[in-house]
Structures are given as C-alpha cells and as structure tokens.
Structure 1
C-alpha cells in the first residue's frame, strides 16, 4: 500500500513495482484518512508493506503512522515512511513511532526500483 497525495509519485511507485515483479498488487490512497478507511473496512486490507508519505493534507504521515499502529491486525505490519525530506529529527521520530525505516524518495524510476528491491530483500531475509 502506498499512501501519498501526489499522483505522479503514485504512478512512479507503480512503475517501479511493475519493474520488480508484475504480480505485485499495490493499493493506493491519496491521504491518511482514505487509507485508514481501507485498512479499517469490514473486510480490512492487510498489506504486506505500507509506505506513507510524510507531507499530506488532512492527516500527515506521522499522524497516519500513529493511527495504523493502533490497529491490532496491523501491529506487525512493515510500515515505511516515504518522503522527499531527509530531516534527521523526523526520521528518528518516525522510527520511534514504529516505522521500520524512512525512505527518502529517490530521484528517478531506476533508483526507486533499486531501493524497493533492497527493502523487499531486507524484509524477506529477516
């Protein structure tokens, strides 16, 4: 699942996943509130990975992360913050709130694809 209000970032993320494996399915949400609706539905969504943009309207990434952490069915979910910011304070805060890692959005499809492959390999090997 990708939670990001930027349509271009959603498209690039989808293209990177397609490059990695065309069988990967990614659910998109344009803000934290929409994501939580999907994650709390009667038949709740249980994604293998959740990537949350830091800067979104209505509910920022940190607030969304905190709400996801309250959901019992997602308490062990692999949640990653995903942002253009590389502010060390925000990185540490997001990890303290339960994010597995903080990914700075790479400039370009090839670098994003490489970074996502690293994330998936790292999580698969744990």
Structure 2
C-alpha cells in the first residue's frame, strides 16, 4: 500500500469522531481521515472539491438537520463517488435501518462498538474486502 487510504467520517458526535480516529491509528497503515460534522457539511465538501475523493465514507444515521439516509441518497448522486464504498456507522442495530440503507446504496452497516479494538478489527476487515 503506497498511497494513504483516505476516509471521510460524517458524524455530529465529536467523541465518536475521536473514537474512530483512535481505531484508525491502531491499524499502523498509511491512513488519513477527514471529518464532517453533518450531512450538509459533507456534501458541500464533496461537491465543491472534485479532487477530494475519499477511498471510504463512514456515515452516521442520526444527525441534526439532514439525516444519514438523506445524506446517503445525495452522496450516491455525485458522479466522482460512484465507486466509493459508503458504510453506515451508527448506534442503531435496527433491521429496518440496515435494510433501508442497503436499499439506498450503503455497502455495509456497522453498529458502533464500545471498544476501540473491536472497531479496529472491523475496519481492517472492511479495508481488505473493499
């Protein structure tokens, strides 16, 4: 892996952002991570900067303003992101949320774990698969 992997995490909770970053740092791989605090901020960044094309997008469902489902729908409309995997990263484990986000184009659904090592393991598997 010569180029760093770039992740965009869209999550309004700063603690969850820090938790995600801790998990990435444990991976010992060339990774960079950018954050957006809500769906609108993420969409503005993704639409304005066509050179910014993250390798992976992690999207929380429950955010103020624009929901994760609405944001996912809009991300899927952006041409330069058509092949970018989008993973739902949420506290929800509701089967209806999982089914609906899959229907909307999410590649995977990750229920936020409570331990950094668990998230690190999940991320490692995702990066090897996608």
Q: Deviations over 1:61-105 (max 9, x none)?
A: 000000000101111110001101100011011001100011100
Give TM-score, length-normalised by structure 1. 0.94
Q: Which runs of 4+ in 1 moved over 3 A?
A: none
**1:100 paired residue number:** 107
- Structure 1 unaligned spans of 5+: none
Q: Which one of the candidate residues 80, 85, 88 is aligned to 1:78?
A: 85
- Structure 2 unaligned spans of 5+: 1-7
C-alpha contact (below 8 Å) 1:38/1:44 kept by paired residues: no
Structure 2: distance between partners of 1:119 and 1:75? 18
**1:115 paired residue number:** 122
What aligned pairs does 1:62-73 form with structure 2 within 5 A after superposition? 62-73=69-80
**1:12 paired residue number:** 19
Q: What value does the CA root-mean-square deviation take over the aligned residues?
A: 1.0
Find the residue that maps to 1:54 and give its secondary structure: coil
Structure 1: distance between partners of 2:123 and 2:23? 8
**1:26 paired residue number:** 33
Give TM-score, length-normalised by structure 2. 0.91
Paired positions, count = 123
C-alpha contact (below 8 Å) 2:90/2:111 kept by paired residues: yes
Is residue 2:50 matched to residue 1:35? no
